[in-house]
Amino acid sequence: MAALDLLDWDDLKVFLNAARGGSLAGAAKRLKVDQSTVSRRLAHLESALGIALFERVPSGLRLSEPGQRLLGHAERVESAVIAMGEEVSPSAAQASGRVRLATMEGIASLYLAERFVRLRETHPDLAIELVTSSQTVYVNRREADLFLSFFKPPGQGLVSEQVGRFRLGLYGAPTYLARAGMPQSIDELRHHAFVSYISDLIQVDCVRWLDDVVLDRHIVFHSNSMIAQKNAAAGGLGLVLLPSFAVKGRDDLVPVLHETASTSRDLWLNVHTDLRFSPRIQAVTGFLKRLFRADPSLQVGMPSPSLPCLRTLAPEGLHHAG
């Protein structure tokens, strides 16, 4: 009991961030303190427990065996503290505060950002933090409150719900098509130039969507940004495969072979188990679900809400990140 009496929640919080970030610098950045504070807190926790929680390695910190065991207990303590804060705060009965939503750059910038004004109209006390990421964001590691992904992410302590599906098709600028000609078949695509992602910088395999449509292709421009790809194609560099939400309302890109050269991806909304009933989280998840369900372009092949027992098969060629 003497060791337990010496435990400090702040020390456990530092331990959790060091374990998740794998370094003193990473933990210090997340906690907005200096590295010496992180090091001192960890030393205090290790002294109180009488065990070494980390091994110091060239890359930073690696959990020891006792550290691995403590991690599960510390996460349960963290969950309890968060639940307590959500339930007893003065704003517990209303949707207020900050909600951090992480998702891919394309859907964040080209679809969601301009629509959050609707959420503001009904929930003026909510503040949204929209984080764009090209890799998996782990809400079970508290990297965000919500993660809107194109795949169902792995991990425990996570509630995932498929909320939509969108189609991707080929597009080209009128200037490019006037120069290179409009392809009449998939076979003719091998004679065309393409714009796509930088292969070795792809963090999640589900964005390798051009592989679903054409493998024999000549890529003349690569970017890790969907927006950059779209603008390059609009400038006449070549054909590009884009989600329907990325080109809605634009006249500088026209559809190419949409009946034969297309694929689709799912939309998954992910939240930590501890937060799913929080008013602020429910306000945002409810808003997103209503937004997607009202947009036919984000419900491609999804079962009708009036027929909840129907199941749909995943489209061929669908890639999920491991």
Indicate whether 318 pLDDT > 60.
Answer: no
List, for residues 61-92, the tens digit of each pLDDT value. 888 888 888 887 777 777 777 666 666 655 55
Q: Give 93's pLDDT tier (boundaries 50, 70, 90).
A: low
Does domain 166-264 match CATH 3.40.190.10? Answer: yes
Does domain 97-164+265-298 match CATH 3.30.450.70? Answer: no
Length of the chain: 322
Rg of the chain over Cα atoms, rounded to whole angstroms, equals 23
What is residue 58's predicted lDDT score, i.e. its pLDDT? Answer: 86
Indicate whether 109 pLDDT > 70.
Answer: yes
Cβ atoms 192, 218 nearer than 8 A: yes
Torsion over CA: 64, 67, 68, 69 (sign): positive
β-strands 146-149, 262-272: how paired? antiparallel
- Please report, to the nearest 10 degrees, the dihedral formed by the alpha carbons of residues 295, 296, 298, 302 taken in order: 130
Indicate whether 146 pLDDT > 80.
Answer: yes
| Structure tokens that stand for 161 in this block | 């719900």
What is the average per-residue pLDDT within 123-152?
85
Indicate whether 319 pLDDT > 90.
Answer: no
Kindly give, in sequence order, each residue whose CB lies less than 8 Å from that of residue 24, ignoring residues fewer than 6 positions away: 18, 35, 38, 39, 60, 61
Stronger pLDDT, 242 or 36, i.e. the higher one: 242
Does domain 2-88 match CATH 1.10.1740.110? Answer: no
List, for residues 14-28, the tens digit of each pLDDT value. 888 888 888 888 888
What is residue 304's predicted lDDT score, i.e. its pLDDT? Answer: 63
What is residue 9's predicted lDDT score, i.e. its pLDDT? Answer: 78
Indicate whether 101 pLDDT > 90.
Answer: yes
Indicate whether 99 pLDDT > 90.
Answer: yes
What is residue 90's predicted lDDT score, i.e. its pLDDT? Answer: 53
What is residue 203's predicted lDDT score, i.e. its pLDDT? Answer: 84
Is 97-164+265-298's fold the same as 166-264's?
Answer: yes
What is residue 75's predicted lDDT score, i.e. its pLDDT? Answer: 75
Cβ atoms 44, 88 nearer than 8 A: no
What is residue 77's predicted lDDT score, i.e. its pLDDT? Answer: 78
List, for residues 170-215, the tens digit of each pLDDT value. 999 999 999 999 999 999 999 999 999 999 988 888 999 999 999 8
What is residue 309's predicted lDDT score, i.e. its pLDDT? Answer: 31
Q: Give 313's pLDDT tier (boundaries 50, 70, 90).
A: very low
Instruction: Give the mean pLDDT of the chain.
Output: 85
- C-alpha 41/C-alpha 214 separation (Å) is 54
Q: pTM of whole model > 0.75?
A: no
Q: Range with the lowest mean pLDDT among 153-157, 227-231, 302-306?
A: 302-306
What is residue 232's predicted lDDT score, i.e. its pLDDT? Answer: 97
Domain ranges of the chain: 2-88, 97-164+265-298, 166-264
